[in-house]
Structure 1
């Protein structure tokens, strides 16, 4: 079953004309984008650019008959299921009640009276999304687990 899926991926990959690294990189990212958009719940992390460059070098140097094997091995080894970290989970659980408490406290402060005009149904999800985005960004900045652009 896995070989069938990988064969289908490779067929889709080969539909595009791949002559240089940029086209190869775009084709790989397109595969991950298609996967993540079509599969509910599960998402996959794309490999780092350096790993894709190494695969491209090996793929480009391989004979036409071996290219599919190189691609399939790369996908088997480098495709990782995206995992939700603890900080994101805790933030997602704690932020809604904290946002409600902050809104109630802010309504009594004269400088923040305009906060009463914002409905709870808009305020709480907005605060939660902002908190989740800030946790993701801060983890990427401080831990450096982001695929480098070069």
Structure 2
């Protein structure tokens, strides 16, 4: 997790690392009651949702429920000092949150196959009576092919999101 932030700092975005550590902690944990695991877990899920929406174009895989529970029971619960809690949370965050891995092969295959499939589907629709009523032959190829490609890529994204949501977290 530290690598993208250090890269941002090298490109002249000052203070980004402090935004992702200090301000995130202050926003989601400092003033919230996290006296029991349920409250801590809700704050952590809220933090993860915020983090994935703030970072442009990136998603992050977060630790599973068991890892969060272990951190809470072994570390968070026993700390009383707010500064120490912040330090331990940042250490946990840096050690357990990683960039989400994406399999680009599905997108590449959809992007390469969709234009040819769109032309074949359009030509074959002229001879199929059930599809002929949609009058696809009147749509110009410069509109139809990109539209079909976009739909194919959106479908590939949906399949990938579905696989990701079914994958058990560690």
Report what 1:110 is aligned to.
Answer: 129
TM-score (norm 2): 0.66
Q: More displaced, 131-140 or 70-79?
A: 131-140
1:77 aligns with 2:91: no
Report the counterpart of residue 9 of structure 1 in structure 2: 24
Asked which structure has the greater CA Rg, the reply is 2
Tell me which residue corresponds to 1:134. Answer: 159
Moved over 3 A (4+): 1-5, 86-89, 114-119, 121-124, 138-141
Aligned to 1:68: 86
User: In structure 1, the residue corresponding to 2:75 is in which secondary structure?
Assistant: helix
Is contact 1:45-1:81 (8 Å) kept? yes
Superposition RMSD on alpha carbons, in Å?
Answer: 3.0
What aligned pairs does 1:44-63 form with structure 2 within 5 A after superposition?
Answer: 44-63=60-79
TM-score by length of 1: 0.73
Name stretches of at least 5 consecutive residues in structure 2 with no aligned partner: 1-14
Whole-Å separation in 2 of the counterparts to 1:140 and 1:115:
35
Q: Measure, in 1, the Cα distance between the counterparts of 2:60 and 2:43.
A: 15
Change over 3 Å in CA distance of 1:9–1:123 after alignment to 2: same
Q: What is the aligned length?
A: 145
- Which consecutive residues of structure 1, in runs of 5 or more, have no partner in the other structure? none
